[in-house]
A and B are shown apart, each in its own frame.
Chain A
Amino acid sequence: MSEHEHGLPSVDARGVKRVLWIFYAALAVFIAIDVVWFGPDWLSNLGQDTHHVESAYADPAHADPAHAAPDTEEHWPNAEDSPQDQPQHPVGHTAETRTDQASFGGHKHGHYAFEKVPAFHALYGFAGFVFLVLAARVLRLFVMKDEDYYGDDAPLDAEQHAEDGHA
């Protein structure tokens, strides 16, 4: 797949390298923001955070009423998707989130504790992407067929009528 196989240099090699360097630098910067800016915050909260969140969750007064369309409320009990034993349940968090946004962040916020792990999103994106591509390669073994598999280009003759019937 790479350019060497075909012997055709595509975008010239120096250009590619330059783009890649910019890209690596950007990635580093954004991870650095996470680590340097939010890191200490996360470390210092490691011990207490869970407790804080749980208490907020237990207190229904924190729930943000603005977020529920009044007429449909009863239709969405958080059945299986949000098990009750998840300490990260966010309802109590939303009020805090709003104030954060207004002040354009001094410390990292998020709905879940795992989001506060430094570089979580970069790692999740990397892992997810690799999984996606490798899984797709496996999928290819099962679903990839010849280009003319369905024979859709064949001329329409009497056979077509039979197809109509089945469709």
Chain B
Amino acid sequence: MSNAALHPAAAPGDPDELRKVLTAAGRLIVGKPETLRLALTCLLAGGHLLIEDVPGVGKTTLAHVLARLLGLDFQRIQFTADLLPADIVGVSIFERGEGRFHFHPGPVFAQLVLADEINRATPKTQSALLEAMEERQVTADGETRRLPEPFFVIATQNPRTQIGTFGLPESQLDRFLMRISLGYPDRAAERELLAGGDRRQMLGDVEPLLSVDALRAWQRHVDRVHVAGPLLDYVQALLAASRSMPGWALGLSPRAGLSLLRAARAWAMIDGRAQVVPEDVQQVLPSVAGHRLQSVDGDDGERLRGLVEGVRIP
């Protein structure tokens, strides 16, 4: 669609900035432009991202790249079975010299937090992070501390079939705006990956393309992307269909609907458009809805396609 549709005065900048971020990220994460765009969409929409995949397909690299390109300070937490909530949130230590407790912030106090293999930690530790994600603040020793802005969590998770993991319960999954998976690269992309240089080396060379202020401006701008009545009709029809379709234990909640709209707005914004079209909803639907629908047999991809194809665009 044309860029002209976005009013220049209303936008915080040229939408090309956002696409340049994607192009730059694409040089490191080869052959996954759609996934990259979903990740950026999630960030712009102010949501958190869950990447579910087998190890070694570039989950960590993705988080790194985004942090560097957007100039965010970055912390990585490797979740293990013995990780404690304080290891994430931080701890107060008595300073003998000053004669009082002093709070040492945990790794969660960063603009982009990579929670690696979140399902390896115990539910208690998991929930400490998830609460921080929801509230955007942490309370330790009776004192509430705000987390930095923006605050973006990318959690990765091994598929639940792997041994020694604590899968996130459905109610917790709801805290992630999107769940995506990278998957194995295709042949050409893998070849390029193997032939190319060291990813860590390359990461070091990445320069920020967007300031933190610009990012926040873009995030605020998401709300100004127009959603027309017919589009609301469409989203409602999708929600209703998800509730009546066989194969899912539960349909999509109203909160899921709100998330869907928000993600679709951010997706449209990356295109430089001032309004959401049904295609935007269709694009973000699998990642937004996939982890919220309790599938009876696990074949989600096919069924989500069925959901889209079963709803006429009003």
- Do A and B make up one complex? no
A-side interface residues toward B, CB under 8 Å?
Answer: none
